Structure formats: C-alpha cells, structure tokens
Structure 1
Amino acid sequence: MTTTNTQASSAPSPSRWFQLLLGMIAMMAISSPQYVWALFTGPLTEKLRVSLAEIQVTFSLLIVLQTFFSPAQGYLIDRFGPRLLLSVGAILTGLSWVLAANVTTLTGLYMTYGLFGGLGTGIIYIGVVGMMVQWFPDKRGLATGLVAAGYGFGAILTTLPISTSLKSNGLSSTLVTFGIVFGIVGILAAIFMRRPEKSIAFTAPDAEERGLMQSTRNYAPREMLRNPIFWLLFVMMTMMSTSGLMVISQMGAFAKDFGVKDALVFGLAALPLALTVDRITNGVTRPFFGWVSDRIGRENTMAIAFGLEGIAMTIWLAYAHNPLAFVLLSGVVFFGWGEIFSLFPSTLTDTFGTRDATTNYGFLYMAQGVGSVLGGPIAALLYQATLSWHVVFGVAITMDITTALLAIFVLKRMRATHLARNAQAAALATA
C-alpha cells in the first residue's frame, strides 16, 4: 500500500536531540556482546572444555540472528512502538549474559549469549536507527551516523573494565554484573524514547538544492520489495559488507604473512595498534560521512567513501610489508567502510518514506548478515585456493569500486526518476 506523507514545514522539535542522545546510550549498551566477545573465548573454551571453533559458533549466531530477524523486529516496533520493544531488547541483551554465566554446555551458550543476545541487540539496533531517520528527515545521515557510532564506540568504555573483572572476579561474576548493567541502562534509555508526531516530520526546504529529494509517498514493505531500487541498494550494501568483513576476518593472518604482526610501531605491536586505530576510524566515519551526505547528497558521498576504501586498500596491499604503513592505511580503509551504516538507512528512507522506515530498513539490514556469512568463508577459501592475498584483496577492491560506480551512475539516476514520478503524482493529486 502506498500513501502520501503528511509532512509539515514547521521547525523541528528540540526534543529530537534528547531522543538522539537516548538512542546513542541504548546503542552503547548493546555494543559489548559483539565487540568484547574475544575476551570471553579463552575462559569459555576452558570452562566448557570444547574447541575454539565450537565456541565461535556463538558469535556467528549472535550476528546472524541480529540481522536476519530485523524485518520482523522492525515490524513489531512500527506496530507496538519503541518503548515496549526496545525495553524487551534491553532485557534480552542483559539476560543473554546473566544466563550465559551459569551454562555448562555449548547448547546452553548458543541459546543464551547467541540466541538471546542476537535477538536483543537486533531489536535495539534496528529500532534506534528506524527512530532516527524519522526524527531527523533533514539530518538523516548525521543522526544515523551518530547512533551507529555509539554502537561502535560503546565497547571502548567497557573493554578495560570487563578485562579487569575477568582477571579479578572470574567469568561468571563478570557476565552477571555487566549483563545487569547493560540491561538497566538499555531499559532506562528505552522508556523515554518515542516516535515523532506526524506534524513534526518535515522535509527541509533546501533538500532539492542539496540533492536530497525525499519521497512524497510512504511505501509499505511489500511494495518496496517489488521496487528495483531496493534490490540495487541490497546488492550494494551486501558487496560493501562482504568487502569490509573479508578484511576484518583475515587481518591477523594477513599481518602474520606479511611479517608485520609483531613489528613495533610507536612502541606497540602493529596488529593490535592497527585494530585500535580501525575501531576509532570505523566509528568516526559514520557521523562524518553521514553529515557529508546531508550536504552533498547520498550517492555523491557513497562514490567518494566507497572509492576511498578501494584506493586505500590498493595502496595498503602494496605497502603492507611496512609496519607503519600497515597501521595507518588500515585506518584509512575502515574510514571508507564504516559509513555504510549511516548512508544506506538514510538513502532507503529518503526513497521509500518514513511511515514504515523501521520495517523497511530491517529488510535492507539483512544485507549485513549476508556479508557476515560471505566475508569470512570467501576470504579463507580464496586464500586457501590461491595462496595469494592479492586475490583476496582484489575481490574486495573490485566490490568497493563497483559499488562506488553503481552509486553515481545507476542508483543516482534511478532514484531521481523515482522521486520525480512521486512528486508529479503528488502534484496531480492535489491539483
């Protein structure tokens, strides 16, 4: 079903910045299950007396469930509102750690940390992003970038405390303590979150001049899924996700083979230093390129950012034997990658409207799940078959450049035609 937006030209509510702050807090509260997982693999392997490969299935479950259930989660949020669903997400996230503290089997770990954690973090992630594209029609790139950065940066605040707690208090106590903290913080943020009133939503008067035309119609999910623009966006996001995750999953082996893993850069080992730099640039890029896209348009920004990643990756491969170059260029690579989490939801909502924005983005966010499944195995199989990192990186670079070209030469034209038709239909309807 397609309906016309009811947008007003009044000034936006100041309370939306409070909603943005709450969204960032909620995202920070759910970031640790993914980003500090590596701290738990050793203690869990020892406790359950199983192999590392079996333990790592938990992490795969977390990511797959977080992404593949997002359309259903988005629908429930659109149907019942953010307070209830985001509170449920926070409870599930906290419970995933509290219950995992006492598991004695792999199945128990999969059902707690993996299942509850994946569903809980997925509800909050898709819900918060869906809220921001509705509250900030004039600053969608910046708003979604800030909350996505909150998800990336949140674990920076918890990594050291969790690591210290593991050493002093043990695995079970650490999981229970931090699980309770994450649950409480997430609930407190959720109960104050609300959707904007329809009278608040608006399209910035200079959006067309900035190349930010927005749909005058709201597209239901089933209608969006029949539109080729959605599938182009899905393919593009899948390629970018796969490209970045191919690099993330293989950085350790890549650094070892090029002889820089333990080399010192500024007195620190190159690999952990590179991973730290990557986490920072991967967070900063989300609001930065989101803000840029609010100024010069989504597709133009995509072309710049995706092209930057491809070029940086090419230079990185050429100078990978140099420890300093390895660290610095890895940061540039991820500066060109992390912005997918602000550009794609903004572009999707600009194209298909705000009414079902959360559900609609849930379908697109599944591309991240596809990328997580493809990224690691494809990189490993390619290297195993060719014994060449040039082939692995060649595929990733090709995906980056292809996506950049699709953005500027295909997506931009398709969206312009689509939005012009919507505007014409709206004008005829009101004539």
Structure 2
Amino acid sequence: MSRLPRRWLVVLVAALVMGGGGTYQFVWSSVSGVVGARFGASAPALGTVFTLFVLTQTLTQLPAGRIRDRYGPRNLLLVAAVCLFVGYAGVGVARSFPLVAAAYAVGGVGSGIAYTVAVNTPVKWIPEDGRRGLATGLVTMAYSGTSVLFIPLLRGSLDDAFTTTLLALGAVVGVGGLLGAWAVRDPARFETTRRADTDGGRDESDSETGGAPDSPRPGGSDSTTPDDSAPERAEQDPSSGVGWRTVVRTWQFWVLYAVMVVVNGVGLMLVGQSVGFTTGLDLSASVATTVASAIALADGAGVLVVSGLSDRFGGERTAGVSLVLCGVSLAAGVFVGARGLAAPFVLCVAAAAFFRSPVFGIFPTLVAEYYGAARSSENYAAVYTAKVPGGVVGGTVAGALVVTLGWSQSFYLGAGLLVLAGLGTLVLRPVRVDAAGRTGTTAND
C-alpha cells in the first residue's frame, strides 16, 4: 500500500487544527446553558458572549492572514494553541460573568487564527488539478464536523464537572494547535519570496516568485512560495500574487463579498432560528430537534462532497449551481412545512444546508486562483470579514423580519437572496494580474 503523500498529511493536520478552533462556534449552545445557570446570566447576555466570539474570530483573520503569508504559520499556530486553551480554561475557572465573556473572546482569537491558517493550507499545497477543492472541503468540513464528537460528551459532563470538563477540552484543542505548529508548513517555494520581502521589501502590487515544491519539515523553519507543484489559473503568471489592497479594487472581490454576506446571513438565520422556524410552522418539537440535527450533518457533508465536485466542474459553476439549489430547497421547505408535511420539510431544510456550505470550501480556492496563492491567507480573510454583516443579517435583521413578515415570508425572502447569490457567483471570471499589479478579467473565461 502506497504511503499517503506528505502534502495530504499536512492537509489532515490542518483539518485537525480547524476542528479544534471550530468547537468554539458549535459547542457554545451546550456550554451556554450551564454558564447561564452558574452566573444567572440572561439570554441576551449569553448572546453577547457569542457575538464577541464571532467578532474576534472574524476580525482576527485579516492580520493573521497577512502574518502567515509573510512569515509562515508556525508562530501563529503557537499563539492559537495558547488562546484555544485559555479560552476554555478561562470559562471553566471564571468567578464572574465578564471573565467568561473575556475568556471566550480570547478563544475567538485562537479560533480565527486556526481558521485562516488551516483553510489556506490546501491552496498552498495542493495544485488546482490535484483535487484542491476536495482538500479544502475536507479542512472546512472539520470546522463543524469535529464538534459532533464533542457535543454528546459535553452534555453528559458539564453539569457534574464543569471546570474539569472545560479544562480538558481546552487541553485537547490546545494540543491540536501545538501539533499544527510542529507539522504545518508552507511549500519551500515560498521561501524565496519571504526572503525577498525581508531583505528588500515590496508594496502591494509587487510580484511573487515561483519555484519547485518541497515537503514540510516538522520542527524546521517555515518556508513558502506562491503556489504548489502544478500550474494554476492565476498562478501561472508569477506576478499574480497581490495583496488585499489590490484585491478590493476588483469587481470579483465585491461579488465574492456580497455572496458571503448572503450565505452567512441566511445560513445563520437558518441555524440559529431552526427551532423557532419549525415550531412557527406548527410542526412538533420533535421535528424541530430532528431539523437541528439534520442541518448540522448536512452542512458538513455538503462542504466535503460538493467542494470535491468543483475539481471537475470548476469553482464558479459548482458554487453558483449549489447556491441556486440551496435557495430552491429552502423555498420548497417553507412550502411543504406550511402544509404540515414534516418528513419532506426535514429533507428540504437538510438539502438547503447541504447546498449552502460548499461555498466555504470553494471560495478559498477561487481567491487563490484569482489573486495568487502566495497571499491567499490575507485575501480570503478579507472576503471572510463578510461574516460580520452576515451575522447582523442572520441575527438582528432576521429577528425583525420574522416579527414584521412572519416565518414563511422571511424564509422565502432568504431563499430568494440565495438564488440571486448563486446567479451572481455564476458571473464570476478569473482575474488577470500583470507585472505592474494591474488587474483585469481574463479574456478566455
């Protein structure tokens, strides 16, 4: 049996790091109830803790991405490991609610660093024609999928051993970050670029250099080059590695950003309001529980399966069609749910979750293809900041819409926005970057 290529071992370790960071988003629903009981915190106060997490997790990624692209992932992952441990440990030993909020925000910093390093590892290691979409989907799936293993354990132990459980959880995710710091490296062809940056400096439109790939050296120095071992759309031209200041001047960035706002907004609306949505359509509490579980499972499956299809059909086409199907599935769910058809409702909502999540596996590869892998971390982090307005849409705006329009009309509106986001994704075209850092759309695409 042939040995697993080292680049795929790096991807698997990156997925482990991603999963540890993702627990902060997905186990909070299990932790928050016990925290509320211990400190007498209200639901809005607990919601504020989660909001602080979302802000720190999201806004950390742009500076972390810039640091990773310039200096490599090792020191960043050491910081992430500390923050991931301190977040859970701090909540476990906290003696006041403000300390809980502060600790969880620190965990958000660790989660943001883990996310931006992990999600951009495949685009640096796996060539476009080497199942890059599948690799990115695998890493992204771990963000939610890993928590499926932890949630049942937490529910059984938080009430009886709150502090011990969170200290243990912090230790597990912290060790995962340390393992990432030891094993995750960028390909050796990035080393020349980083040395040039350190010795001579450059501005945002400077070109990136190419070279031959190499394997990571656990415990060794970080090394980088703009791409992997095979030619890629944007990376065939060595000058294509530009930074976020150039990226935001292209129309493709703003399409990607708008789509991400919609995907995050409607997605968080669906995840956060799934129980209320189900009962609001006069379906039973047991159906609501089933829907919540189906969303979590379908979300992870979709990002892996559909992202893998992008290797064959192209990222723009795959993401666009997937989002259109997501919108259609959600609208169908509202239609059948309003008529009391429980089983079709669960299937349709699960399908909506399945077709929504692939964007998070496909867009990092598109950003690398459009603007170059050398600075993909900072560039995708700029796109990912759409999670902040998306969170406002999925929380505050969604709540106001439900009060004003009702459950059905609000989710029909969300379904329509998803279809428009899918159509917008289909108009995307690769970016051509010349030696002076000027950008334009490629003629043939």
Q: Give the structure-1-normalised TM-score.
A: 0.87
Once the two structures are superposed, what CA deviation does each residue of 1:44-88 show, in whole Å capped at 9, x if it has no partner?
Answer: 112112212112211111112111221111112223311110121
CA shift for structure 1 position 180: 1.4
Gaps of 5+ in 1: 1-12, 263-268, 427-431
Of 48, 51, 72, the residue aligned with 2:63 is 72
Matches within 5 A, 1:236-275: 236-262=259-285, 269-275=286-292
Task: Determine whether 1:150 maps to 2:142.
Answer: yes
Aligned twin of 1:394: 412
Q: Which position in structure 1 is the counterpart of 2:308? A: 291
In 2, Cα distance between the equivalents of 1:231 and 1:101?
41
**1:49–1:202 Cα change, 3 Å:** closer
Q: Once the 2 structures are TM-superposed, how far is the Cα of residue 339 of structure 1 from its aligned partner?
A: 0.8
Displacement after TM superposition at 1:102 (Å) = 1.9
Q: Which amino acid aligns with 1:293?
A: S
Aligned residue for 2:401?
Answer: 382
Give, in whole Å, the separation in 2 of the partners of 1:395 and 1:420: 37
Aligned to 2:13: 22
For these two proteins, the number of residue pairs brought into alignment is 393
Determine the C-alpha separation between the residues in 1 that align with 2:354 and 2:291: 13
Offset, 1:421: 7.1
Distance 1:186 1:259 in 2: 44
SS in 2 for 1:370: helix
Deviation at 1:319, TM superposition (A): 0.6
Structure 2 length as normaliser, TM-score? 0.84
Mapped to 1, the partners of 2:96 and 2:236 lie a distance apart of 50
Higher relative contact order (CA 8 A, sep 6+): 1
SS at match of 2:356: coil
CA distance in 2, matches of 1:214, 1:391: 44
Q: Indicate conservation of the 8 Å contact 2:87/2:107, yes or no.
A: yes
Q: Is the 8 A contact 1:22 1:190 kept in 2?
A: no
2:187, 2:434 → 1: CA distance? 27
Output aligned runs, 1:6-405, within 5 Å.
Answer: 14-113=5-104, 115-138=105-128, 139-169=131-161, 171-198=162-189, 199-200=212-213, 201-202=227-228, 204=230, 216=237, 217-262=240-285, 269-320=286-337, 321-386=340-405, 388-405=406-423
Q: In structure 2, what is the equivalent of residue 429 of structure 1? A: none
Is the 8 Å Cα contact of residues 26 and 190 (structure 1) preserved in structure 2? Answer: no
CA RMSD of aligned residues (A): 2.0
* Deviation of the 1:242 alpha carbon: 1.2
Check conservation: 1:135, 1:196, Cα contact below 8 A.
yes
DSSP 3-state at the match of 1:194: coil
CA distance in structure 1 between the aligned counterparts of 2:90 and 2:434, rounded to whole angstroms: 52
What are the Cα deviations for residues 284-309 of structure 1, in whole angstroms up to 9, with x where unaligned? 11121211111111111122100110
Structure 1 position 203, deviation (Å) = 6.7
| CA displacement, residues 323-352 of structure 1 (integer Å, 9 cap, x when unaligned) | 212221111010111111111111111100
Counterpart secondary structure, 2:241: strand
Q: How much has 1:204 moved relative to structure 2?
A: 4.6
Q: CA deviation at 1:322?
A: 1.6
